Amino acid sequence: MTDEQKWASPAAVVPAIAAAVPPIVPPVMPPVAPPVDPRFVVQNSSTGNGYGYEGAGGAQPGWTPPPKPGLIPLRPLDLGTILGASFRVLRRNPKPTFGAALLIQGSVYLLLILVVAGVTFNAVSRVNSSSSQNTDQITAGATGLIIVASIIPALLAVIASAVLQGIIVLEVSRGAVGEKLTLRALWTKARGRIGALIGWAALLVLTVTVVLGAIVLIIVMLAVSLGTGGIIAAVLIGFLASFSLVVAFVWLSTKLALVPSVLMIERLSIRDSVARSWSLTRGYFWRTFGITLLVAAIIGFVSQVASIPLSIVTQFATVLFDPQGQKGSGVTVLLVVVSLLAVVIAVVIQSITSVVQSATTGLIYLDLRIRKEGLDLELVRYVEARQSGNSSVVDPLLHGAPVSPALVADESPWA
């Protein structure tokens, strides 16, 4: 039996099989767009384009800065932005900021001068007209009267500073969305919250007074009742108490720094504002403390530099007009004029200082809400809605307004 099948080489069979099987073509994958941070891609209802990437077909993705409708760009704020915006508040809307500060600080200084000067003149007149037998009692009473007269303007200064801080905080919050309000409009928005702001300032003053009074009373009682050992114990307690008070003041003042902003912007009660400030500064204590301390150091240095020329002029003028130290009428008039000029300069410097410090606090408040609540996205939508004529949109700065879910700052390119 014969096998008629013919043998073929494998090399000849493989090409035939390969020719019969069609080649496998890999699928074409569509291009993948780069990830987009939702914080900066906000759909514009009027133009149809996002802020982060162009919406036109076929256009290459491009980056544009976040919108800046007013005082600040709507993104997490860095140190330079906060510092610049704190001073820019004065230039952007000077009448309701510097004008209000000048009016309030000038009134406080004028009241202080009139009250203290009047009471001091009366007290000195009584001492001079008293007999030699009761001079000590009258002098002690006059000194106490002068001290009481100085305390009243000081309390009024605390109240005035609280009112000014509320006005500046409102100006910062409205400036962030591009609004530029007059002093009357700001005062209208602050209506109903000034009492809470004054109450918060009075509560702080009362707390500090009670704590310091209790410590001083304990130290005095130890020093008087225990003799030499009591004096040593009083000194040690005074040192430890001073150190503890400084630490407690720094910690509490930082944690509660945003209470005025919450009182004025979110319109919460004092208790809820304390809790809100405590919550917002959680995780950002050192940032809040560092920025506040840096701004205070800058304006303190500028204030000292601004007061140096006046002191130099006073010394040279005194030597020039009264080289022998006789203190005639001309020198007295010169000293009065220089003193009034010093008061004017002090009022101007204090006004600028108050505005900058209050603006810094308001900017820190907005920055923390942007970082922890995504407030910048809601502010952009609010600005767009107002620009399109929608006046019924909810103000996202108010308490209870809808905000975006919290965004992690470390995942943002602006962190």
Of 175, 199, 186, 178, nearest in space to 100 by CA? 186
Report yes or no on 12 lying in a domain. Answer: no
Question: In whole angstroms, what separates CA 108 from the centre of its chain?
Answer: 22
- Asked if 258 and 161 count as a contact pair (C-beta separation under 8 A), the reply is no
In tens, the pLDDT along 97-119 reads 888 888 888 888 787 777 777 77
Q: For the ranges 66-75, 183-192, 243-252, 284-293, which has the lowest average pLDDT?
A: 66-75
If phi > 0 it is left, if psi is from -120 to 50 it is alpha, else beta; for residue 267 that is left
Q: In degrees, to the nearest 5, what angle opens at C-alpha 117 toward C-alphas 116 and 122?
A: 100
Q: For the ranges 64-73, 363-372, 379-388, which has the lowest average pLDDT?
A: 64-73
How many angstroms separate the CA atoms of 345 and 75, rounded?
A: 37
If phi > 0 it is left, if psi is from -120 to 50 it is alpha, else beta; for residue 28 that is beta
Report yes or no on 407 lying in a domain. Answer: yes
- Asked if 361 and 258 count as a contact pair (C-beta separation under 8 A), the reply is yes
Tabulate helix, strand, coil % of the chain (nearest 5): 70, 0, 30
In tens, the pLDDT along 108-150 reads 878 777 777 777 777 667 666 666 566 666 666 667 677 776 7
- Total of domains in the chain: 1
Torsional sign, CA 278, 279, 281, 282: positive
DSSP state of 147: H
Report yes or no on 182 lying in a domain. Answer: yes
If phi > 0 it is left, if psi is from -120 to 50 it is alpha, else beta; for residue 168 that is alpha
pLDDT (0 to 100) of residue 321: 63
Assign 3-class secondary structure to 181-214: CCHHHHHHHHCCCHHHHHHHHHHHHHHHHHHHHH
Report yes or no on 224 lying in a domain. Answer: no
pLDDT (0 to 100) of residue 410: 37
Report yes or no on 204 lying in a domain. Answer: no
Confidence of residue 302 (pLDDT cuts 50, 70, 90): confident
Report yes or no on 129 lying in a domain. Answer: yes
Q: For the ranges 155-159, 194-198, 247-251, 373-377, which has the lowest average pLDDT?
A: 155-159
What token pair was written down for 324?
């022998």
- Please give the single-letter amino acid code of residue 54: E
Distances (CA, A) of 356 to 5, 226, 262: 103, 49, 18
pLDDT (0 to 100) of residue 139: 67
pLDDT (0 to 100) of residue 356: 92
Report yes or no on 148 lying in a domain. Answer: yes
Assess whether pLDDT exceeds 80 at residue 23. no
- Asked if 355 and 97 count as a contact pair (C-beta separation under 8 A), the reply is yes
Q: For the ranges 17-31, 37-51, 182-196, which has the lowest average pLDDT?
A: 37-51
In tens, the pLDDT along 37-54 reads 444 444 443 333 333 333
- Please give the single-letter amino acid code of residue 308: I
- Asked if 371 and 76 count as a contact pair (C-beta separation under 8 A), the reply is yes
Q: For the ranges 2-6, 79-83, 88-92, which has the lowest average pLDDT?
A: 2-6
- Asked if 82 and 109 count as a contact pair (C-beta separation under 8 A), the reply is no
Question: What is the chain's mean pLDDT, rounded?
Answer: 76
Report yes or no on 255 lying in a domain. Answer: no
Give the range of the structural domain holding residue 364, as residue numbers without chain letter: 79-191+284-385+394-411
- Average pLDDT of 357-367? 93
Assess whether pLDDT exceeds 80 at residue 279. yes
pLDDT (0 to 100) of residue 129: 67
